[in-house]
Amino acid sequence: MATIKDIAVRANVSSATVSRVLNNDPTLLVTDETRNRIVEVSKELDYTTVRKRRNVKRLESVRSPRIGIILTCSLEEEEDGVDDDPYFSIIRQGVESECLNQGIYTNKIIRSSDSSQEQIIEDIDGLIVIGGMNLSLLNRLKDTLNNIVFINYSPDEDSYDSVMIDFRKATTSAMEHLLNQGFKEIGYIGGSENDDYSDNNLVVRDTRLTIYEEIMKSKGIFRRDQVFIGEYTMTQGYMLMKEAIHKGNLPEAFFIASDSMAIGALRAIQEAHLKVPEDIAIVSFNDILMAKFASVPLTSVKVYTEQLGRVGVKLLLDRINGREIPLKVTVPTKLVIRDSCGAKNKLDS
């Protein structure tokens, strides 16, 4: 193993200078040429500092926890979602990035459709569930695996950690913004999901739709015929907006439950030779990267999606390290104002 003295001899400097350069001593004054020569020689001799060797030994002495990640979508659905509605894909990226940041390399990706879920889960220390888990499987696991964190779903906050956003607060901020702009006829475009997590496989009503209806009814301006429900895809956003346009008597504005659907809706509006926001104002949800670069930049409720995944990893590690009390963490959202709602036009005029 090379020593500081070996580097000093070859670089033609003192051992003290080598030590201070390799340990990034900010008070050392040497030329760039000398510093670079020392670094190059240390690389040639494959030298590592004492601090780095200690860190390696410390990491080797601590076994990295084995973490499983359950995804509710199939591989095909996730790959499609990267281009269409990347919400859950970005959460997964956040989980994996934080695992790498924490020095955890023993992850297992488990699909909700895998028939061998229980066998895969048996040899892990903790589980992160992105979306949800069938309650029958959860009940079978709870006696053998206590370290489970749910992201974007909270089946039992008295038993399990979860990371959520406040859909009520987020939806209210979007609706209040449109109402404060003076819009009274506000339509809704959104999706529905199957409750694959229960044993009944029911269709789940989106919280955003519930809050939208509550707010519109409280103002006495709710209209059932201005609500359009499909799936969370660009194609469905396009088709639902075409349906709304064909029906006639268009609302002045729409709250659209995902950016992907809103981008599809924009295409339908343009094909009808209508303009956003002059003819129809739009506020959408998630603030994915595409929202900023849509044909009309979207005003959208920003969800810190990657942060949901990162917080989930931190909660799980805290649980593995001995915390017994379950925690429910709510990650905040933020309404980002762009062109599609018309507010910027009013400010600029």
What is the C-alpha end-to-end distance of the chain, expressed in Å? 71
List of the chain residues with pLDDT < 70:
1, 26, 49-63, 73-84, 106-107, 112-122, 193-204, 344-349
Give which of 2, 10, 35 is closest to 20, Cα–Cα: 35
Query: What pLDDT sits at residue 84?
Result: 66
**Residue 64 DSSP symbol:** P
Each residue of 242-265: pLDDT tens digit? Answer: 999 999 999 999 999 999 999 999
Check whether residue 193 and residue 118 sit in a common domain: no
Which CATH number fits the domain that encloses residue 183? 3.40.50.2300
Is the domain of 83 the same as that of 225?
A: no
Given a contact cutoff of 8 angstroms between Cβ atoms, the answer to whether 140 and 118 are in contact is: yes
Q: Are residues 158 and 280 in the same domain?
A: no
Q: What is the pLDDT of residue 349?
A: 46
Are 95 and 158 in the same domain? Answer: yes
Q: 266-281 burial, b if ≥16 CB within 10 A, otherwise e? A: bbbbeebeeebbeebb
Q: Are residues 247 and 327 in the same domain?
A: no
- How many structural domains does the chain have? 3
How far is the C-alpha of 130 from the C-alpha of 162, rounded, in Å?
Answer: 10
Q: Which domain range does residue 22 map to?
A: 4-61
Of the candidates 107, 100, 103, the residue with the CA atom closest to the CA atom of residue 121: 107
Residue (of 338, 334, 336, 324) closest to 159 by Cα position: 324
Tell whether 159 and 180 lie within a shared domain.
no
At 281 the three-state DSSP class reads: strand
Of 25, 46, 61, which one is at a domain's C-terminal end?
61
Indicate if 341 and 242 belong to the same structural domain.
Answer: yes
Query: Which residue, of 13, 30, 61, is where some domain finishes?
Result: 61
**CATH classification at residue 19:** 1.10.260.40
Helix (H, G, I), strand (E, B) or coil at 186: strand
CB atoms within 10 A of CB 201: 10
Same domain, 340 and 326: no
Q: Strand pairing partners for 303? A: 333
Q: Which pTM value belongs to this model?
A: 0.75
pLDDT score at 59: 47
- The CA distances from residue 218 to 150, 213, 283, in Å, are 33, 8, 20
Same domain, 47 and 131: no
Name the strand (E) or helix (H) holding 269: helix 259-271
Please give the pLDDT value at position 120: 56
| Residues 341 and 216 both lie in one domain | yes
Summarised one tens digit per residue, pLDDT across range 15-57 is: 888 888 887 776 777 787 888 888 888 888 888 766 666 555 5
- Tell me, yes or no, whether 340 and 205 share the same domain: yes
| Residue 148 to residues 119, 143, 159, 321, Cα–Cα distance (Å) | 16, 12, 9, 13
Same domain, 197 and 323: no
How far is the C-alpha of 155 from the C-alpha of 150, rounded, in Å? 8
pLDDT number for residue 124: 84
> Which stretch of DSSP H or E encloses residue 255?
strand 253-256
